[in-house]
Amino acid sequence: MKQVLSCAVAFCVALFSASAFGQATGSAAGGAIPDNDAGGLSTVVNVSGAAAGATITDVEIIVDGLTHTWVGDLIFSIQSPDGTTADLINRVGDDSAVAGGFGDSSDLGGTYTFSDDGGDFWGAAIAVDGATAIAPGDFAATSVGVGTATAGTPVNLASVFNSATANGNWTFFISDNGAGDTGTFTNVTINLETTAVPEPASVAVLGLFGLGLISRRRR
């Protein structure tokens, strides 16, 4: 019996580890960002790979080939298939929510990733002068400034999208909100880490296995 039980435990562990974690991903080509147009550029990213009913536990957005002068012009946001939205950056270096400024004058050039364990994007923008590119890297998402022009409002993507739908059409939105400086990006990728509920078939198999154990015990 001891052998049967340990076998059952191993079976369950194998079953749950196979279905407990899933990675969903999607990517799409970018383009030129319209200058001084709040309507911006919306890029549809079809994400697939999550189990049905999966819960989103981590979100990563990778923007490739991103070149733009005057980062303070820009707003980036993402929207999940069910319509949940979050800013990634929003008028960096600008306290326009309070004072109507122009934002940070530094440039962008390369691959920029946004995830909850990333660094301080506002700090990186403020640390370099205008016409100098912010070094590509992994940054935490932020929304509009808090009135000091030195810090954005933190956005925790895992919290925002925890109950959102993983599979389907996400939208990556960029808008440029100041005349003159322009830019482009070549590609965007959305990666989601998810935890999945066990599939009904697995539960049924576990139930049958349990019944088998009980009937063995009775003999």
Alpha helices in 90-132 (DSSP H): 121-127
Q: Is 35 in the site for Ca ion (CB under 5 A)?
A: yes
Which residue stretch of 12-20, 37-45, 118-126, 194-202 sits at the interface with Ca ion (rule: CB under 5 A)? Answer: 118-126
> Which one, 108 or 125, has the nearer CB to Ca ion?
125
136-173 as b/e: b if 16+ CB within 10 A: bebbbbbbbbbeebebbeebebeebbeebbbbbebbbb
> Which one, 52 or 179, has the nearer CB to Ca ion?
179
Distance in Å, CB of 9 to Ca ion, minimum: 57
Q: Pattern 141-180, binding to Ca ion, x per CB under 5 A?
A: -----------------------------------x-x--
In whole angstroms, what is the distance from residue 31 CA to residue 204 CA?
48
Distance in Å, CB of 34 to Ca ion, minimum: 9
Instruction: Report angle CA 154, 155, 157 to the nearest 5 degrees.
Output: 150
| Per-residue CA distances from 3 to 7, 8, 9, 105, 202 (Å) | 6, 9, 10, 68, 22
- The owner of tokens 């980062």 is 71
Beta bridge partners of 118: none
Backbone φ and ψ of 168, nearest 5°: 130, -165
Which residue stretch of 1-9, 26-34, 122-130, 190-198 sits at the interface with Ca ion (rule: CB under 5 A)? Answer: 122-130
Distance in Å, CB of 170 to Ca ion, minimum: 25
Which residue stretch of 9-17, 28-36, 95-103, 197-205 sits at the interface with Ca ion (rule: CB under 5 A)? Answer: 28-36
Q: Is 73 in the site for Ca ion (CB under 5 A)?
A: yes
Which residue stretch of 32-40, 77-85, 140-148, 161-169 sits at the interface with Ca ion (rule: CB under 5 A)? Answer: 32-40
Instruction: Report angle CA 205, 208, 210 to the nearest 5 degrees.
Output: 110
Q: Under the rule (CB under 5 A), what is the footprint of Ca ion?
A: 35, 73, 104, 106, 125, 176, 178, 181
